[in-house]
A and B are shown apart, each in its own frame.
Chain A
Amino acid sequence: DTGVSQDPRHKITKRGQNVTFRCDPISEHNRLYWYRQTLGQGPEFLTYFQNEAQLEKSRLLSDRFSAERPKGSFSTLEIQRTEQGDSAMYLCASSLDRGSFDEQYFGPGTRLTVT
Chain B
Amino acid sequence: AQSVTQLGSHVSVSEGALVLLRCNYSSSVPPYLFWYVQYPNQGLQLLLKYTSAATLVKGINGFEAEFKKSETSFHLTKPSAHMSDAAEYFCAVSDWTGTASKLTFGTGTRLQVTL
Binds B, one of A12-20, A68-76, A79-87, A101-109: A101-109
Name the distance in Å between B85's Cβ and chain A's nearest Cβ: 19
Name the A residues within 8 Å of B96 (CB-CB).
100, 102
B94 and A102 contacting across the interface, CB-CB below 8 Å: yes
Query: Tally of A-B residue pairs with Cβ under 8 A?
Result: 72
Determine whether A21 belongs to the interface, using a CB cutoff of 8 Å to chain B.
Answer: no
Name the distance in Å between A26's Cβ and chain B's nearest Cβ: 13
Provide the bound-state CA to CA distance between A111 and B40, in Å. Answer: 12
Partner of B108, one of A6, A35, A41, A48: A41
Q: How many residues of B contact A (CB 8 A)?
A: 25
Name the A residues within 8 Å of B41 (CB-CB).
111
Provide the bound-state CA to CA distance between A28 and B46, in Å. Answer: 18
B103 and A50 contacting across the interface, CB-CB below 8 Å: no
Residues of B within 8 A of A (CB): 32, 36, 41-46, 49, 51, 90, 92, 94, 96-97, 99-108
Residues of A within 8 A of B (CB): 4, 6, 31, 33, 35, 40-45, 48, 50, 55-56, 91, 93, 95, 100-109, 111
